[in-house]
Amino acid sequence: MKYPYIAKSFAKHALSGFKTPYMVMFETTLMCNMFCEYCIFGEAGKFNDLQTRAVRERIFRRIDEFCDMGIFAISFSGGEPLLNPNTTDYIAYASDKGMWTSMPSNGLLIRKYADGVARLDMLEVSIDSLNPERFAKRRGLNGLPKILENLDFVLQKRKPFTTQINAAVNLENLEDLPALAEFCRERDLVLHPEAVHNVMRAGELLPDAELHGDEINRVEKSLRQLRAAFPRNIRFYAHYYPFYRNGGFNAEFPCRHPSKLVSMKPDGSIHLPCAFMTLHQSQAPLKEIFASEEARKIIAQEETMWDFCKGCKIGCAYEVSAYANSPTLALKSALNFLRVWS
Ligand SMILES: C[S@@+](CC[C@H](N)C(=O)[O-])C[C@H]1O[C@@H](n2cnc3c(N)ncnc32)[C@H](O)[C@@H]1O
Ligand code: SF4
Ligand code: SF4
């Protein structure tokens, strides 16, 4: 880990009264080569940003700005981040500067970019079943054998517990999780199960895919049992389940994405309040954006949120909010994180 960078960033945050963002979600592209039934990016041809992606220099300058502001971590997300051929160069640049880097991927291209993804502090590969038919149904592509082959190749270049398997969970694949956990135990991987939830984008929603009533209890109970059986390998936030049952973000547990998680789009623009809804976007320098009246006004509203936030349970927004809303949860997460790295 990059301790000098972390120490310097911590000092900057302390100086700002812990008011500045601590993480970036960079959607390197909104395009995807899979068709997952629960994901808004899974609709063929829906997004095309080939013409509007930032030229490389603009993204490198953005990463400089993130470091100047003392932002700790950057996630290279998407769509499928490896469909942007520059992604691994951005990872190397952010990593060389000291940022903590992570990337979720569907795994189809990780072998092609094996040396590049080897630089990540955390590589996340999304596999929600080891049953090829169920995988194909859920992820819209009969790609499991190829993805497992790619994963085995990439794992030769990675340290234990620095690769995570992301599993979107509902009742359909709940029974598949013990086999996935065993797979992770054999390879020193982390398994991060996350209950399927609806993800809104610019007001648009897929048909309801959420867990209701007793379904959420069954998923939570199974995950707790799984964690007891595989304590070194399973990572999830137990508090996410009461949060889910409670309907997601609310005034007692507001979303901190606007102030704590910077959303950067493929063209290098910064969007507020979040990656899923834009009230303000800008290509101005980062410090200028966060000092602007528009941004301050939006951030001041995060306590009460907006109508479009109703029912939102998005995992990445939940994680940053958990750290910011509750010192106990932050401490628990830190301990969880350290166990992963031990
Ligand atoms: C949006 S994808 C982007 C990165 C990459 N394409 C991938 O599949 O890993 C990031 C993660 O969100 C998960 N995901 C997508 N839609 C979801 C949903 N409705 N509920 C829970 N997780 C979801 C995916 O399985 C994946 O692990
Ligand atoms: S979960 Fe990832 S791989 Fe699946 S459609 Fe969404 S962005 Fe693509
Ligand atoms: S709750 Fe947060 S992530 Fe969800 S729509 Fe509102 S601002 Fe965006």
Provide the total of helices (H) and of strands (E) in the chain, helices listed first: 14, 9
Tell which atom from ligand 3 comes closest to the C-alpha of 258: 7
Ligand that lies nearest to the alpha carbon of residue 77, given by its number in the listed order = 1
Q: Grade residue 336 by pLDDT with cuts at 50, 70 and 90.
A: low
Check residue 339 and give its pLDDT: 52
Check residue 177 and give its pLDDT: 98
More confident position, 164 or 331: 164
Protein residue with least CA distance to atom 1, ligand 3: 309
Check residue 330 and give its pLDDT: 76
Cα separation, 31 vs 84, whole angstroms: 9
Ligand that lies nearest to the alpha carbon of residue 299, given by its number in the listed order = 3
Residue 273 Cβ contacting ligand 3 at under 6 Å: yes
Whose CA is closest to 104, among 28, 199, 19? 28
Q: Which residues pair with 191 in a beta bridge?
A: 165, 234
User: What ranges do the domains of the chain cover?
Assistant: 3-337
Check residue 342 and give its pLDDT: 36
208 to 40, 85, 139, 174, 204: CA distances (angstroms): 12, 33, 17, 18, 12
Contact 170, 215 (CB under 8 A): yes
Query: What is the number of alpha carbons within 13 Å of residue 317 lying toward its C-beta?
Result: 29
Check residue 43 and give its pLDDT: 85
Check residue 341 and give its pLDDT: 45
Tell which atom from ligand 3 comes closest to the C-alpha of 249: 1
User: Tens of pLDDT along 175-191?
Assistant: 999 999 999 999 999 99
What's the CA-to-centroid distance between 78 and ligand 1, angstroms?
9
What mean pLDDT is predicted for residues 202-217?
A: 93
Q: Grade residue 66 by pLDDT with cuts at 50, 70 and 90.
A: very high
Give the tokens for residue 184: 């992770």
Exposure string (b/e) for 288-314, b if CB count within 10 Å is 16 or more? ebbeeeebeebbeebeebbeebeebbb
Tell which atom from ligand 2 comes closest to the C-alpha of 79: 7
Is residue 82 predicted with pLDDT exceeding 60? yes
Is residue 216 predicted with pLDDT exceeding 90? yes
Residue 277 Cβ contacting ligand 3 at under 6 Å: yes
End-to-end Cα separation, the chain, in angstroms: 12
Check residue 1 and give its pLDDT: 57
User: Tens of pLDDT along 7-48?
Assistant: 999 999 999 888 899 999 999 999 999 999 999 998 888 899
The residue to mutate among 34, 110, 135, 314, having the most atoms of ligand 2 within 8 angstroms of its beta carbon, is 34
What rounded mean pLDDT belongs to the chain?
94
Is residue 338 predicted with pLDDT exceeding 80? no
Is residue 5 predicted with pLDDT exceeding 70? yes
Alpha helices in the chain, H assignment, sequence order: 3-15, 56-68, 87-97, 114-117, 132-139, 144-155, 177-187, 214-229, 240-245, 257-260, 286-291, 293-300, 315-325, 327-341
Tell which atom from ligand 1 comes closest to the C-alpha of 103: 4
Question: What angle, rounded to 10 degrees, do the helices at 56-68 and 87-97 form?
Answer: 30
Contact 256, 325 (CB under 8 A): yes
Peptide bond into 273 cis (omega under 30): yes
What mean pLDDT is predicted for residues 82-94?
A: 98
Q: Grade residue 206 by pLDDT with cuts at 50, 70 and 90.
A: confident
Cα separation, 113 vs 115, whole angstroms: 6
Q: Is it true that domain 3-337 has CATH number 3.20.20.70?
A: yes
Give the tokens for residue 276: 């899923």
Ligand that lies nearest to the alpha carbon of residue 124, given by its number in the listed order = 1
What mean pLDDT is predicted for residues 62-76?
A: 97
What mean pLDDT is predicted for residues 103-127?
A: 98
Ligand that lies nearest to the alpha carbon of residue 200, given by its number in the listed order = 3
Query: What is the number of alpha carbons within 13 Å of residue 155 lying toward its C-beta?
Result: 21
Check residue 94 and give its pLDDT: 98
Ligand 1: lining residues by beta carbon, under 6 Å = 32, 38-39, 41, 77-78, 80, 104-106, 126, 166, 168, 194, 196-197, 199, 209
Give the tokens for residue 21: 């963002």
What's the CA-to-centroid distance between 33 and ligand 2, angstroms?
8
Ligand that lies nearest to the alpha carbon of residue 41, given by its number in the listed order = 2
User: Tens of pLDDT along 310-327?
Assistant: 999 999 999 999 988 987
Check residue 2 and give its pLDDT: 82
Q: Is this model's pTM higher than 0.85 or not?
A: yes
Which residues, at least 6 apart from 184, have a Cβ–Cβ distance to it below 8 Å?
165, 190, 191, 230, 233
Residue 10 Cβ contacting ligand 3 at under 6 Å: no
Cα separation, 210 vs 199, whole angstroms: 10
Is residue 340 predicted with pLDDT exceeding 80? no
What mean pLDDT is predicted for residues 292-304?
A: 97
Cα separation, 249 vs 4, whole angstroms: 35
More confident position, 342 or 309: 309
Check residue 331 and give its pLDDT: 76
Protein residue with least CA distance to atom 18, ligand 1: 196
Residue 305 Cβ contacting ligand 3 at under 6 Å: yes
Quick check: helix, strand or coil at residue 193?
A: strand
